[in-house]
Amino acid sequence: EAGVAQSPRYKIIEKRQSVAFWCNPISGHATLYWYQQILGQGPKLLIQFQNNGVVDDSQLPKDRFSAERLKGVDSTLKIQPAKLEDSAVYLCASSSTGGRGQPQHFGDGTRLSIL
């Protein structure tokens, strides 16, 4: 089966600009996650969708980050305006259901550099 697809692979912007990332989960997966991975650290969950509804966005900086999954399939994550500390890899993952213990399958991420 095809894996989680993310684009773009790399993005370089200046601080205060906006940026958007796209994710297409594994076909049929109901649950979609966005993570932020700062260099040298483990991934940190930003937001979790169950179908097209948000079930956890407790660690999403809502003043600048937003995400949507309108049709319950693909998703976009936006940052506006970007800050230097947003430089990181943004990973998307999906699991078949939101049930606990379901393995999360990751895409290869978008590496964001803020100048």
Partner 1 sequence: GESVGLHLPTLSVQEGDNSIINCAYSNSASDYFIWYKQESGKGPQFIIDIRSNMDKRQGQRVTVLLNKTVKHLSLQIAATQPGDSAVYFCAEGLSGGYNKLIFGAGTRLAVHP
What kind and span of H or E run contains 31?
Answer: strand 31-37
Helix (H) or strand (E) holding 20: strand 19-24
Is 5 near partner 1 (CB under 8 A)? no
The answer to whether residues 52 and 71 touch, using CB atoms and an 8 Å cutoff, is yes
Residue 27 found at the interface with partner 1 (CB under 8 A): no
Q: Mark the segment that binds partner 1 (CB under 8 A) among 16-24, 64-72, 74-82, 87-95.
A: 87-95
Residue 12 burial (CB count, 10 A): 12
| 22 neighbors 4 (Cβ within 8 angstroms) | no
- Position 48 contacts partner 1 (CB under 8 A): yes
Q: What is the DSSP letter of 70?
A: T
76 contacts partner 1 (rule: CB under 8 A): no
Q: List the one residue from 34, 104, 112, 114 that touches partner 1 (CB under 8 A).
A: 104
Q: Does 55 bind partner 1 (CB under 8 A)?
A: yes
Contact positions vs partner 1 (CB under 8 A):
4, 31, 37, 39-45, 48, 50, 55-56, 89, 91, 93, 95, 98-109, 111
